Amino acid sequence: MAGKRLILMGPPGGGKGTQAKRLQERYKIVQLSTGDMLRAAIAAGTPVGLQAKSVMDAGKLVSDDILIAMIDARVDEADCANGFILDGFPRTIPQAEGLDRMLAKKGLKLDAAIEVRVPDERLLERLTGRFTCAKCGEGYHDKFKQPKKPGVCDVCGGTEFSRRSDDKAETVKTRLAAYHQQTAPLLPFYEAKGVLKVVDGDRDMDLVAADLERVLGL
Ligand code: AMP
């Protein structure tokens, strides 16, 4: 199968996480979400979590060194042998350069960097309306995807839901600014390497998923 080591890029709320989860389920390529890893570190109270919490709550980016070390260690785990989808990493040019060095050292090659493109005006609405099942993590949205039975998770029947603390309108604005200033410059970086592919993320998620499979030749 083509396309085993992938980067999913795009603005916060652009649907990277949703698409990465679908690829993971369908093709058994593990999703490595640095946001999820940092939230787990915060929940576990690790030194990295303690350092990351206030930065994340402010909508800013956690330091490159922490992120590079985190991914470096994670990629060596057995479940990554069949490939991985980086979701939310790299987010800066130094992280992308760090990833290059790391992959070269491990003798691995990047197959594709995919931009899920969504216009800014959609993102605020997408981010501030989202919530997840506290038990299984299934994602929902106030406007676009309510559970079929109000208050009950479609997947696991759970009745507790949670919202990310950084999905508040003020924080979302800082996250979008960080994307434009620090992460968008990665698009020409990967284009120059000949691995950039773009999908229109401003559509129904099934259509985005189909397009993603098409550009990846899956
Ligand atoms: P996400 O779940 O991808 O939206 O990430 C949530 C937050 O985690 C971001 O706003 C950052 O504060 C932090 N974060 C996640 N990935 C990275 C990264 N690659 N570099 C720096 N900060 C990150």
Alpha-carbon distance of 21 to 154, in angstroms, equals 17
Q: How confident is the model over 147-176, as pLDDT tens digits?
A: 999 999 999 999 999 999 999 999 999 999
Alpha-carbon distance of 101 to 103, in angstroms, equals 6
Beta strand pairing status for 5-9 and 112-117? Answer: parallel
Catalytic residue among 16, 22, 39, 126: 16
Task: Tell me the mean pLDDT in the region 34-59.
Answer: 96
Q: Is the CB of 35 under 6 A from ligand 1?
A: yes
Task: Tell me the mean pLDDT in the region 88-107.
Answer: 96
What does pTM read for this prediction? 0.92
Task: Tell me the mean pLDDT in the region 128-137.
Answer: 95
Residue 100 near residue 111, CB atoms below 8 Å: no
The sign of the dihedral angle between the CA atoms of 20, 71, 186, 110 is negative
Alpha-carbon distance of 113 to 98, in angstroms, equals 15
Q: How confident is the model over 8-30, as pLDDT tens digits?
A: 999 999 999 999 999 999 888 99
Q: Is the CB of 84 under 6 A from ligand 1?
A: no
> What is the pLDDT confidence band of residue 3, given thresholds at 50, 70 and 90?
very low
Among all chains, which residue has been given the structure tokens 């000949």? 194
Q: How confident is the model over 62-85, as pLDDT tens digits?
A: 999 999 999 999 999 999 988 999
